[in-house]
Structure 1
Amino acid sequence: MKKNPLDDILRTIEIHDKIVAASSELDDKSKRAMLNFSSYTKRLLTTQEVGRKLNAYQRKSATSEFLNYWNYSISPDTEKFWDKIKANGITIERKDPFRFALEKNRFIRVELGIGARKYWTELKTLKAITNRFSETEISKIGEIIAEDENKRIGILKKCLAKKNIPKSQYLKFGECWAYFTNTGLFPKYMNEKEVNELYVIWKNFKS
C-alpha cells in the first residue's frame, strides 16, 4: 500500500504535542505557543476546503517551518523528539546542529550555543548522543562549547574595560548578553556591579 505523504508529518505533530506537553524545560507560555502552532499546522495540512488545499510545495514548506524548532534547538527534549521520530520509522531528515558544529567548529546560532552549554553535561551521556558520535567527536563538541563561552565572555569583558561597544560588535554583544543571561553564567565571570555597568553601557549605546 502506498504511503500517504501526510502520514509522517501528522504522526510527527502527535510526537511534538506529547513532548511539549510533558516538557520540564519549556515554560507555560512557550508550551501554549508551540501547541497552538502545531494545531494550526495540522489544520493547514489537512484542510480540504476549495481554494485552501495545499499543493506539494506548500505542504513541504509548512512541514519545514513546523520542524524549525526541532532542527535548531539543543536540549534533552530535542533528543527525545528525534528518538521518537526514529523509533516510529518516520522518514523525516534531521538537520543536526552538533554535526554542523563539528564541521564548522562553531554553532550556527547563539540559541544553539546556549542550549549546548546548558545541557551538554546531561546530553553527552545519552545513548542518542553516544550512538551518534564517537568519543573523539563528543570531546570535540565539549571543546567547541568551551571555546564559544570563552569568546563570548572575552567580548563582554573588553566592552566593559573600554566602557564602550564598537558599532561592529553591537549585534554580537546582544548575542553574548543573551548567552550569559540564559545560561546563568554571569556570576562565574562578573559581580553584580560589573553586570549592571555593562547593561548601562549597552542601553546607552548610540549608533
Structure 2
Amino acid sequence: MSNIKEDYIRKLSQIIEIGRLIIEKSKYLDVKSKKAFVNSGDEYLKIINEKYCTLTQLKSISKMFLPFWNEAIGVDIELFWIELKNHNLDFERKDELIFALAKNRFRRVDQGFSARNNWEEMKDMKSLKDRFLDSEIEQIGKIIEVDESKRVKILKKCLEKKQIPQSQYLKFGECWAYLSYCNLLEKYFDQEQKDELSDIHRNFKSV
C-alpha cells in the first residue's frame, strides 16, 4: 500500500505542476484567474507533501483538482491532457466535446464562450484530430456558430420588446456574459443599444 500511495503522490504532484505551467503560460486567462489557480495548486501540494494523507484522501484531492481540466474547453485543456499522456499519467478524462457532439450544444455557457474564444487555434490541434473525425470537428464549429447566433437573437428580441420575459432572465444574463467575454457586443450592438440593454436588465422586476 505504501508504494501505491507514494506513486499516487508522485503522479498527483506532477499533474498539479503541469497544470501550473500551462496556466502560467496561458494566453486565454487573465492575471487574476492565473493567480487564483496557482494559489489553489500550491495549497494542494502543501497538503500532499506536508500532511499524512491516506490514499482515499489523495484521490479526493485529485477529484477537487481535476474538474477544471475535465469540464472546461480550450487550448489550455488540450495541452494539459497532452502532457499527461506524454508523462504516462493515467488520470481519467471526461471530454465535454463528446457531450457537445451528442447533444448538439454545450452543457454550460462558460464552455460555450471558451470554445468560441479558443476555436481558431484549437480546431487544428493534433489532440483534437486524434480524437475526432473531420466531420465531427466541423460539427463542433457549427455548434459554436449556432450558440453565438441564438444568444444574439435572444438579446435582440429583448431589445425589440424593451423587456426581458420572466422566463428568460437567467438566459439574458448568460447571453450578455457570453458576448461580453467574447468581445462580441460591439459586433452586434452600437453603444445606444448596449446602454438600452443595460437599462432593460437593471429595470427587470420578477413577479
Fold match, TM over 0.5?
A: yes
Work out the percentage of aligned pairs sharing the same amino acid.
Answer: 44
Match of 2:168 in 1: 169
The residue that corresponds to 1:39 in the other structure is 42
Does residue 1:16 correspond to 2:32, yes or no?
Answer: no
Aligned to 2:141: 142
Alignment of 1:44-59 (within 5 A): 44-48=47-51, 53-59=52-58
Q: Do the aligned residues in 2 keep the contact of 1:8 with 1:92 (CA within 8 Å)?
A: no
Q: Is the 8 A contact 1:117 1:145 kept in 2?
A: yes
Structure 1 residues 176-197: Cα deviation after superposition (integer angstroms, max 9, x where no partner): 0000000111122211111110
Give distance in 1, aligned partners of 2:48 and 2:205.
Answer: 46
- Distance in 2 separating the partners of 1:130 and 1:155: 33
Residues 50-97 of structure 1, C-alpha deviation per residue, up to 9 Å, x if partnerless?
xxx444443323211211221122222111111101111101111111
Aligned match of 1:154: 153
Counting only pairs closer than 5 Å after superposition, residues 67-146 of structure 1 correspond to structure 2 as: 67-146=66-145
SS of the residue corresponding to residue 14 of structure 1 reads: helix
CA distance in 1: counterparts of 2:14 and 2:162, whole angstroms: 53
- Could you tell me which residue of structure 2 aligns to residue 61 of structure 1? 60
Structure 2 unmatched runs, 5+? none
2:182 partner letter: T
Contact 1:113–1:145 (8 Å) recurs in 2: yes
User: d(CA) in 1 for partners of 2:53 and 2:167?
Assistant: 43
Compare the two structures and name the one with the higher helix fraction: 2
- What number of residue pairs does the alignment pair up? 203
Taking structure 2 as the reference length, the TM-score comes to 0.92
Partners of 1:25 and 1:119 in 2: how far apart? Answer: 8
1:28 has 2:31 as partner: yes
TM-score by length of 1: 0.92
Moved more, 72-81 or 162-171: 72-81
